[in-house]
Amino acid sequence: MLWTILAIVVSGLGAAGIAMLLRKLTGNRLPKWIIPAFGGLGMLSYQIYYEYSWFDHQMQRQPAESVLVASETGEVFWRPWTFYWPMTTAFTVLDRKSLLREDAAGGDVVAFNLYRFEKQHVDRVSYQPHLLNCITAELLPLDAQKKPQLKQLKQIAKDDVLYQQVCQ
């Protein structure tokens, strides 16, 4: 977060410096207000770049065993450009190292962990263990004590990326 703020300030100062140079090159014919306007545009431009590159940056930081299984895009009213180009605000990653296959009476059951990354003012990461029955395609989340949360049992499609990665 500190480095992001520093980068925003530096980009604003750099853009203001370019405006000062342009003003001097034109013999001060450009108005003085162009300097803070360029500074503000430089800071805003870096912030937009940072927000849209967040997803790619986070994916590059994941280990090779991680597989993207879902992502969410969203719009925010104080960022009007997101209505035209929605940005990724959250994504879920499967940890393939955590796959643990068990043969149960109802079929092949696989235990694994899903990690969810959310873009907020401070990035949030949460993980939750799950069970997936590969025969019935039922996904069951587990709590912190590895006890099933039966109220959250859901059916997933067999062509879903999560099903494909876990059951094959």
Q: Which of 59, 74, 107 is the last residue of a domain?
A: 59
81: amino acid identity, one letter: W
Q: How many other CB atoms are there within 10 angstroms of residue 88's CB atom? A: 19
Domain coverage including residue 145 = 64-167
Instruction: Taking residues 148-166, report their average pLDDT.
Output: 91
- On whether both 49 and 11 belong to a single domain, the answer is yes
Residues 87 and 146 in one domain: yes
Question: pLDDT band at 1, cuts 50/70/90?
Answer: confident
For 58-78, the pLDDT digits (tens) are 999 999 999 999 999 989 888
35 plus 75 within the same structural domain: no
110 and 32 together in one domain? no
Same domain as 52, residue 83? no
Pair (76, 121) in one structural domain? yes
pLDDT in the model for residue 101: 87
**Calpha distance 67→162 (Å, rounded):** 9
Domain final position from 41, 59, 77: 59
Note whether 28 and 72 are same-domain residues. Answer: no
Q: Encoding tokens for residue 79? A: 């960022």
Number of separate domains in the chain: 2
Which of 59, 74, 97 delimits the end of a domain?
59
Taking 70 as the threshold, does the pLDDT of residue 38 lie above it?
A: yes
Give Cα 67 to chain centroid, integer Å.
Answer: 13
Tell whether 98 and 115 lie within a shared domain: yes
The angle formed by the CA atoms of residues 43, 48 and 52, to the nearest 5 degrees, is: 150
Specify the amino acid at residue 42.
G
pLDDT in tens, 89-115: 999 999 999 898 887 766 689 999 999
Same domain, 68 and 151: yes
Task: Tell me, letter by letter, the H, E, C secondary structure of the chain.
Answer: CHHHHHHHHHHHHHHHHHHHHHHHHCCCCCCCCHHHHHHHHHHHHHHHHHHHHHHHHHHHCCCCCEEEEEEEEECECCEHHHHCCCEEEEEEEEEEEEEEEEEECCEEEEEEEEEEEECCCCCEEEEEEEEEECCCCEEEEECCCCCECHHHCEECCCCCHHHHHHHC
Residue 20, pLDDT above cutoff 70: yes
CATH number at residue 139: 2.40.128
